[in-house]
Structure 1
Amino acid sequence: MLHKFFALLLFASLHAMAATPAELLAGYTAQAGQPANAAKGESLFKASHGQEWECTSCHGKAPMSGGRHASTDKAIEPLAPAANAKRFTDSAKSEKWFRRNCKDVLARECTAAEKADVLAWLISLR
């Protein structure tokens, strides 16, 4: 129990001051209590989860390129940090968009492990 408390405390600390995608990933990994799995992240991103939208509906199949919002047609900058240096540098903004997008795609919020997996995959893209 104490281990979980310290992991959550570490996550909160890292999460509050995350300034890089790697720091944000470390926070999600600490909260999840398991290593991130980039292959699972890619699968989650590319799969249909029974909802109207998938991640690729707006972000496209290639996160190194931009996308367009499925209903507003608004341009979306590339999701992969290697293609967009601003991605995953603001923890509050990252949480906001994970929350919204996971609800649209999964009909629920993503777990810390799912966020870590997706972020690990996005960080791996070059």
Structure 2
Amino acid sequence: MLASSLWSTAVHAADTTPAAQLQHWSAQAGTPGDAAKGQTFFNAKHGAEWSCASCHNTPPTTQGKHANTGKLIAPLAPAFNPKAFTDTAKVDKWFKRNCNDVLSRECSAGEKADVLAYLNSLK
């Protein structure tokens, strides 16, 4: 029973792909994600002292470290972290939390699509 429960959780945790997330947010925005815009957005400071790159590195292909807590963060680019953007609930949670930290607001669907296009382009 426990093994069955653990397997079910593991299957549920990988309910999406980075490409599916990009497609979803592009559809929500009504325009395809733009990797160049995503790279600019990712590296820019947005009114405060942090950017996405403050914790996730430039480029986000290596382990990062939270700028405030020091907690280690797995690489964000899917080609360097096979678990990145494979759990819809986590994607939604972390976009909400990180956008609020960096922008003091939620990211728009277009911003999410652009960032995902950038992250998916890193090889």
Contact 1:51 1:104 in 2 (8 A): no
1:67 to 61, 64, 67: 64
Instruction: Find the counterpart in structure 1 of residue 38 from structure 2.
Output: 41
Letter in 1 for 2:47: G
Instruction: Find the counterpart in structure 1 of residue 98 from structure 2.
Output: 101
- How large is the Cα RMSD of the aligned pairs? 1.2
* Runs of 5+ unmatched residues, structure 2: 1-13
Q: Deviations over 1:58-85 (max 9, x none)?
A: 1111211111011111110000000000
Q: Deviations over 1:39-97 (max 9, x none)?
A: 00000000111113211111111211111011111110000000000000011100100
1:51 to 48, 63, 75: 48
Give the length in aligned residue pairs.
110
Match of 1:73, SS state, is: coil
Question: Is 2:108 aligned against 1:111?
Answer: yes
Query: Which segments of structure 1 move beyond 6 Å, counting only runs of 4 or more?
Result: none
Distance 2:39 2:48 in 1: 18
Aligned residues: percent identity?
59
* Runs of 5+ unmatched residues, structure 1: 1-16
Contact 1:46 1:61 in 2 (8 A): yes
Match of 1:119, SS state, is: helix
* 1:74-85 to 2 correspondences below 5 Å: 74-85=71-82
Q: TM-score, normalised by structure 1?
A: 0.84
Contact 1:82 1:123 in 2 (8 A): yes
